[in-house]
Each structure stands twice: as structure tokens, then as C-alpha cells.
Amino acid sequence: MAILPCGSTWVAQWGIRPQCILRSYVTNKIPTSQYCTTSSISYLSAPSSSFFSRGSFHVLSYPGSSQSSHRRRGARFTVRADSDFYSLLGVSRNASKSEIKSAYRKLARSYHPDVNKEPGAEQKFKDISNAYEVLSDDEKRSLYDRYGEAGLKGAGMGMGDFSNPFDLFESLFEGMGGVGGMGGRASRNRAVDGQDEYYNLVLNFKEAVFGVEKEIEISRLESCGTCNGSGAKPGTKPSKCSTCGGQGQVVSSARTPLGVFQQVMTCSSCGGTGEISTPCNTCSGDGRVRRTKRISLKVPAGVDSGSRLRVRNEGNAGRRGGSPGDLFVIIEVMPDPVLKRDDTNILYTCKVSYIDAILGTTIKVPTVDGVVDLKIPAGTQPNTTLVMAKKGVPLLNKNNMRGDQLVRVQVEIPKRLSTDERKLIEELADLSKGKTASSRR
């Protein structure tokens, strides 16, 4: 717990790491007595705030502080705390996806730079978009809830890996062409990046352990060679769209009890380009055609089921000069009938007779490197685990480091004995009893 100065008073702070600054105003008089007393700030924040809750902070006042507290009514109160995506959107931590989406749409309208010209509005718009991108994705939201922004960075998502906030805004308001006067942000001929492509690759156990080079064949959208990606038939010129007058958008108005509501819609005739052209015969006006391509893929050692390999710019082609998407290869590893995998360790179970467990022996054990000899020490107990160092799986991207192979020893006890075997064991039992009796003397 830390104590923060606030005028002539001190405020207790629990476990809040310094990052961003929140400002609030102390509006209540703080009663004091001759001795140091404690009283609550009842309106430090809204009850739903994820940073503070009513009654969660107390002000410690000292003799002589009463007069200064009256003079400082409305004094600025500063607390430093972690930025919080839920607070940026003004929703609770258990908010549903629809609530998060609704909050984002409302805030995005208010802070979009085409509408809000105040200093800092664009940065606020970007922060809101980043928060929505994380909280609207189940996997990212789960990581954020458990580990905060550090969890996103640990998963390979740095602060520079967020989507373009304006692209995110336009994708959410697609079909509305923006809100109010925001349509100008989206150029009619703005480049559109291509979508990512996914491919499932099945590997056997050893291929996943040691890595392998594979040649895969994918199907993807590539830029049309006939029209060079424009979608227009070669030799023709586009004409202005008669529906929208070349604006790429149409405005519809509706009168409501709250006033006239105007909605800006993307023109359905030209798709928002503002131009009508004769479609290319090869790509039917899309500017892209689907083709197959063979790609050589190097799979690193140590991958496991669920691992994803990213091949940049090998996804679907973009429109109007947009960047191509990426290819994501999803790994699936077929299980081995004998060896089992536990992270970087390999598990194997062997069986030995009770005589070998007593006297010790050497057995043949299969590993990913081949069959090797394993010494079973004399006196090995049932379910003992023996470690074969560096016979496991290499660490991903660290081939010089490997896990171990863990061999669990099961001792087999015979259910039936021959007459000679029983006689020998009984003699051994008598000998063992004699030793026990002599040791007690």
C-alpha cells in the first residue's frame, strides 16, 4: 500500500501501478476530530468504474487539516493506474460482445477525427479501436483478462500489431458508408488488403520432433492478369455512377420523434467506387482470380498440434493495389503408438520381471533417435521413473536444447509358479525371515 498526497490530506493506494493519470474531484467535506481519523470518499468515482469503487479508498486527516480541507473543496485529486480496455469503452468486465460492440460504435462516432476536431481526439479514437479489437476477440480477451497487456505481448501481439483503426471503423459501419460526414475518410478507390488463407498440415510424430521441409499446394485469390486487378474490361473506360453521382455514397433521411436521422449508405450500384465499368471477362469484375500454387515450407523442430506457422504475403491478393494477406499453416501431429509426448519430454513405459527388478538388467528402449540400451538398476521398485537425458523433443527455435525421455518401470509379478519356482521362493522367504530375526537380536 502506498500513500499519495492530495493537498493537505493523504490518500491510500492499493496495488495500482503507475501508468496513466485519472483525475477526479473531492466534493464532500471530510469530517475531522482532534485525533487522526478515517473517513470515506463517497463519490470518488462511478460505482461501475473498474478502477475504483465506492468506499474503496479512505482519507487520513490530521489535526489542523479541517480548515485546509474546506479551502480546498474541489481540489484536483490525482491517482495513477493501469490503462484498462474495459474502462476505455465504458463497459463492465463481464460485458457481452453486443454490449462491447454497441459501446465502441457510440464512442467511435464521437471521437472520429472527421467529426471531433479537438486535440487528442484522434489518439482517443485509436485507443478505443485497440480496446475493441482485443475485447471483441475471444482469444485476445481471455489473454487480456488473465495477464493484461503483458499477456497480449507474450502471445506475439505488440502494441504495433493492432489493426488500422480506420479500417476497423469502416468494417463495422460497412453498409452505412460512415456516420454523418465521416465518409470522406474512406477514399472511393481506397486499397483493400487481401484476406488471410489457412492450410491444415498433418505431420507424423518424428517430423514434428525434428522438423521437416514440406511442399504444399494452396488455393488462393491472385490478381487478374487480364485487367491487372482493376476489374474493368481492357480497352474500356469507367463512367460516373448515375445512382450516387460519382460520390460512392447515398444519403437516406428518416424523421423520428428525436428529429431527422440521416444515414449515409455505400452505393449498391457501384460498390462505393463512384464509377461504373464494364467487367473483365476473366475475373467477372472482381480483379482477382482463384489459382493454385505450390509453396515450399520449412517446419521447425519441436512443433506440436495447434502450432501455427505464418508465411507472409502468401494469402489472398488485395483489391485496388492492397497488400496480400498471409498464409497460416495449422499443424496437426499424428500420435505415436509407443511414445507419448508431454511438452518437450517423451514418455515410455517398460515392463521387467520381478527377478530383473531385484537383480538389475539392461533392456532395449525405443526413442526418437532409435533403439538404445537402458540399464535397470538392481532393487528397482515398481513404477520407478528413469530419466534418459536429452532424448526428448527439441525446444522450438532452440535446437541445441532438448527435453528428456522418461521411462516408467512396471514390475511384473507372476500369477502362477512352477513347483521348482515356488520351492526356491519359499527358501528365499525362509532365508529372509532368518535375516530379519537375527537383526532384531
For 75-97, write each residue's pLDDT tens digit: 333 333 446 899 989 999 999 98
Could you tell me the pLDDT band of residue 408, with boundaries at 50, 70 and 90?
Answer: very high
**What φ, ψ does residue 103 adopt, rounded to 5°?**
-65, -40
Looking at residue 50, what is its pLDDT?
Answer: 40
Could you tell me the pLDDT band of residue 154, with boundaries at 50, 70 and 90?
Answer: low
Could you tell me the pLDDT band of residue 441, with boundaries at 50, 70 and 90?
Answer: low
- Range in 173-177, 303-307, 392-396 with the lowest mean pLDDT: 173-177
Strand partners, 39: 59
182, pLDDT greater than 50: no
Tell me how many helices (H) and strands (E) the chain has: 10, 23
Looking at residue 59, what is its pLDDT?
Answer: 36
Could you tell me the pLDDT band of residue 162, with boundaries at 50, 70 and 90?
Answer: low
17, pLDDT greater than 70: no
Question: How far is the CA of 417 from the CAs of 171, 423, 425, 426, in angstroms?
Answer: 77, 9, 10, 11
**Mean pLDDT on 194-221:** 95
Looking at residue 6, what is its pLDDT?
Answer: 45
In this predicted model, which residue has the larger pLDDT, 389 or 59? 389
160, pLDDT greater than 50: no
Looking at residue 254, what is its pLDDT?
Answer: 79
Q: What pTM was computed for the model?
A: 0.53
Expressed in angstroms, the distance from the first to the final Cα of the chain is: 65
DSSP code, position 182 = G
Sign of the alpha-carbon torsion through 108, 112, 118, 123: positive
In this predicted model, which residue has the larger pLDDT, 359 or 49? 359
Distance CA 316, CA 199 (A): 13
